[in-house]
Amino acid sequence: MPLALLALAISAFGIGTTEFVINGLLPELAAEFRVPIPTAGLLVSGYAVGVAVGAVPLTMIGNRFSRKTMLLALMVVFIVGNLLCALAPNYGALMAGRVVTSFAHGAYFGIGSVVAAGLVAPERRAGAIAMMFTGLTLANVLGVPLGTAVGQAFGWRATFWGVTVVGLVALAGVAALVPAQPRPEGQGLRGELAVFREGRVWLALLMTILGFAPVFAVVTFVAPIVTEVAGLPASTVPLLMGLFGVGVVVGNLLGGKLADRALIPSLYLSVGGLTVLAALIALTTHSPIALFAAVVLFGVAGFATVPPLQIRVLDAAAGAPTLASAANIGAFNLGNALGAFLAGLAIQAGLGYVAPAWVAVLLGLLGLVTVALSGHMISRERALAAASA
């Protein structure tokens, strides 16, 4: 794999840390700002909505510049957003900082995915994207547990100061290692937007939303699940987040390999596994060992969905890869927001902290329906192509 993928992975590490670390700090944030935990959980949904809203417009703006220039600019936005979080005097200011940070997320992964895929041979695209997303997954192994532990020991602001430093390192890495990227050429904005008239593109985006939503339905409220339901001390949350991160790393790499071999079967396996494991989490809260094992495997299944979901959108929107890739990152985060929001509603309805896992089961079943529809569409398109050949 090209060395430039290392720079993309470093950036992904910083973005992943700031996205996920909030999950382990919800009790501390809720206590400081004197809001209920479901309200603190809206910091997750707010970030996700910001990604979804900002991904496509920023990518469209980015078409006027070289891809490397846009990656550098987005890392500057990321750094500024985390500074705002670290300095936030109240809940509203923290939410604003999260939203600013989130604007960099969608466009960065969208553009970065296209850059990564273009650095390798066509048959290795999913693997290259998975390598970039390894930074995101390593954030769950190292960044999130460390950030959670630092936040618990020194205050949550220290965590965001640390992420800001990571952003500065990532900025330097992109500047030094990513080769010059020419300004994207193609059909122009109108031509790229035309691909969104295709039903297969919208089905692929819907599959991403529903296929990934179960992950954040559970992970957003993993801290109260561990402390309030399982009865474990808060100090075990960083450990569990670290183990979850190990599962995420394995799942991401496994998903890349499986997607390069068989796209739709890999989605049946990952989304189906995610659904089953969500149910196991709900049923194993009485046993810490079983609960930890289920959460780790949940991480494997959850991030095994990422490379195939990204590749499916790139295939469905071949005429506008950068814009479609950014739209799919937005779709991932709409799934994040949907999962966290519905899980929070279930808690507020008095269903308890196990309810998010059952919400994840429902979302996973809906995701499997979209996988089946997408598989049917691909088979039909291949049959029509063979008949006309």
**How many domains does one find in the chain?**
1
Query: Which is it for the CA torsion 172, 173, 178, 179, positive or negative?
Result: positive
What pLDDT, on a 0 to 100 scale, did the predictor assign at position 93?
A: 92
- What is the signed CA dihedral for 133, 139, 142, 143, rounded to 10 degrees? 160
Task: Give the separation between CA 252 and CA 255, rounded to whole angstroms.
Answer: 5
The whole domain housing 362 covers 4-388
pLDDT tens, N- to C-terminus, the chain (389 residues): 678 888 888 899 999 899 888 877 888 888 888 888 888 888 888 888 888 788 778 877 777 778 888 889 999 999 999 999 999 999 999 999 999 999 888 788 878 877 877 777 766 766 777 778 778 778 877 888 888 888 888 888 999 999 999 999 989 988 888 887 666 555 556 666 777 778 888 999 999 999 999 998 998 888 888 888 888 888 888 888 888 888 888 888 888 888 888 888 999 999 999 999 999 999 998 888 898 999 999 999 998 998 888 888 878 877 677 777 778 888 888 898 899 889 989 998 989 899 999 999 999 999 999 999 988 888 887 777 777 76
Of 35, 45, 86, residue with least CA distance to 213: 45
Residue 276 buriedness (CB in 10 A; 0-12 / 13-18 / 19+): middle
The distance in angstroms from the start CA to the end CA of the chain is 36
CATH number at residue 314: 1.20.1250.20
What is the pTM (predicted TM-score) of this model? 0.73
Q: What angle do CA 81, 327, 75 make, to 5 degrees?
A: 30
Q: What pLDDT, on a 0 to 100 scale, did the predictor assign at position 356? A: 93
